[in-house]
Chain A
């Protein structure tokens, strides 16, 4: 193995490491630096210390964005995981059992295929799709029906207190199938003897779910929560395309990524946008660390 090892190793690593350092590492490092300047792109950047961060604290849109992340962070994982767990349970062990062999309900395979499909579509495309679905007049999918029934149209994206929830619904719509498949994989690896034993002791389906499936699936649930949380910190594509005025109405759906994009590429406030980027980074890291720490518990060996 010795002969000519180093030329080979260097030859194989050179291109990927160079690409990675130039396009990933260098920008990340620079972001922290730029966030301490008042750079607007034209003149040389001036060092302003923590000024940008102080201004963040007084920025109404920044706090609105943080608040929206808070809502998404709680609601998106909670709703998605609840629905996905319910479906995954039905699809894997919800049907009748034959000789102790648990089975899913009839048509499980079909449902799994259909539910997963939105995952394959780009979020930007889904956002355009739901713009049509939510349209406030008779050409919208939902309001077209409501108005035919003589009801008033629901202004999904225009009403400030409804807009964020309308967007959240789309995120759930896309995510559920992925987690159904993920949880199904977890459930399939739970030995059937455990279900058999529980059944013999007279456990109902609800008991089975809460006492057997849920504890044995804990690790997968934790991964799901972290994934959905990270998704809640992004949400750029959906907000940029689906919401009114990219984050509107009047900032009612804005998220940090949207504010970063706007400050950097519309207002050319590069220093300020970078400070927001750094804030977003620390929020994401804190969330991931906290989740992994708080949800830590003895995993059940089986």
Chain B
């Protein structure tokens, strides 16, 4: 199967004007069966949409309320737009710092993953040399191991390298653990690219390195985009690795870690509205990004499952 495996564009779902003709030919019993099924289906779909949307919407509303309102009227609109909740979350609760840390770590991590992953995948896919298969399977076997198996030794490897509680350490670990899937996916992708272009480049005196960066990389763009999205979302969502590798450096924490910490350690005196604001700060950017790149994200994330 084509490893590119982007999802086919969503088939136009809205009933077209032609639909009426088709339905007109049907018997009466048939139509009521369709009607009943579609009716029940609609209810189920709408209910699920509400279940997905309401918790998020409710969080947005609560982020503008004060503690009294949160407890006394959880279902109403906030009395006024209290932006100070956001200011508190952003500065006092350090959410701004965590957010920035996440951007740095995920940015560098994904860039490194894509650079090294595509380099290795390209060489493994298109060059025959001694040890090629061994290295390829070494990488791919990493897909079968749960990260938790390695957690204890990994902690000490990073510690011995002096990289504990540093972003450098976390970025390198992110890259290393993203390589198996990236290489598995991209190697299959590079294999499908026609070799005639590469040969033509070679004849024109193009070196191996230039050939890769100037000819093969642009040709592999669809695959690279899918994988970049996959890695950005995967690394952005990481929780256990930063928890272990950054535990003693609160100023270096990433967003997931920081917000989970605020929530877990929230006692009776907790700043609930601040927590709702923090949560909104974490969710809203994802909604915006998702709204813009919705189709690419869906195909990027499912690309792992469609072999």
Partner of B13, one of A107, A114, A273: A107
Whether the Cβ atoms of B307 and A223 lie closer than 8 Å is yes
Whether the Cβ atoms of A117 and B15 lie closer than 8 Å is no
Whether the Cβ atoms of A265 and B244 lie closer than 8 Å is yes
B108 within 8 Å of A (CB atoms): no
B93 within 8 Å of A (CB atoms): no
Q: Complex: how many Å from CA A233 to CA B146?
A: 9
B120 CB to nearest chain A CB (Å): 4
Q: Complex: how many Å from CA A138 to CA B74?
A: 7
Nearest residue (CB) in A for B244 is: A265
Contact with B along A153-185 (1 / 0, CB 8 A): 000000000000000000001001110011011
B94 within 8 Å of A (CB atoms): no
B101 within 8 Å of A (CB atoms): no
Whether the Cβ atoms of A20 and B176 lie closer than 8 Å is yes
Whether the Cβ atoms of A87 and B146 lie closer than 8 Å is no
Contact with A along B280-307 (1 / 0, CB 8 A): 0011001101100010011001100111
Whether the Cβ atoms of B18 and A98 lie closer than 8 Å is yes
Contact with A along B106-139 (1 / 0, CB 8 A): 0000000000110110111001010000010011
A237 within 8 Å of B (CB atoms): yes
Whether the Cβ atoms of A24 and B8 lie closer than 8 Å is no
* Chain A residues with CB below 8 A from B200, complex form: none
Partner of B127, one of A9, A99, A260, A261: A9
Q: Say whether chain A's binding surface is mostly helix, strand, loop, or mixed.
A: helix
Q: Complex: how many Å from CA A3 to CA B190?
A: 21
B54 CB to nearest chain A CB (Å): 7
Take A97-B22, A129-B279, A144-B74 as given contacts and tell me if A6 and B129 are in contact as well, using a CB distance cutoff of 8 Å.
yes
Partner of A185, one of B8, B116, B149: B8
Contact with B along A135-161 (1 / 0, CB 8 A): 001111100110010000000000000
Whether the Cβ atoms of B155 and A19 lie closer than 8 Å is no
Take A22-B157, A30-B153 as given contacts and tell me if A12 and B120 are in contact as well, using a CB distance cutoff of 8 Å.
yes
* Chain B residues with CB below 8 A from A139, complex form: 70-71, 74, 272
Take A132-B62, A132-B276 as given contacts and tell me if A117 and B287 are in contact as well, using a CB distance cutoff of 8 Å.
yes
B209 within 8 Å of A (CB atoms): yes
Nearest residue (CB) in A for B161 is: A22
* Chain B residues with CB below 8 A from A281, complex form: 145-146, 149
Whether the Cβ atoms of B179 and A264 lie closer than 8 Å is no
B59 within 8 Å of A (CB atoms): yes
Q: Complex: how many Å from CA A111 to CA B175?
A: 34
A240 within 8 Å of B (CB atoms): yes
Interface segment among B77-85, B217-225, B255-263: the answer is B255-263
Whether the Cβ atoms of B74 and A129 lie closer than 8 Å is no
Q: Say whether chain B's binding surface is mostly helix, strand, loop, or mixed.
A: helix
Q: Complex: how many Å from CA A212 to CA B231?
A: 35
* Chain B residues with CB below 8 A from A188, complex form: 8, 11
Partner of A19, one of B58, B149, B172: B172
Whether the Cβ atoms of B260 and A241 lie closer than 8 Å is yes
B266 CB to nearest chain A CB (Å): 9
B90 within 8 Å of A (CB atoms): no
Whether the Cβ atoms of B283 and A121 lie closer than 8 Å is yes
Q: Complex: how many Å from CA A34 to CA B21?
A: 71
* Chain B residues with CB below 8 A from A62, complex form: none
Whether the Cβ atoms of A90 and B41 lie closer than 8 Å is yes
* Chain A residues with CB below 8 A from B208, complex form: 4-5, 8
Nearest residue (CB) in A for B157 is: A27
A11 CB to nearest chain B CB (Å): 8
Q: Complex: how many Å from CA A55 to CA B137?
A: 34
Q: Complex: how many Å from CA A175 to CA B294?
A: 17
Whether the Cβ atoms of A19 and B34 lie closer than 8 Å is no
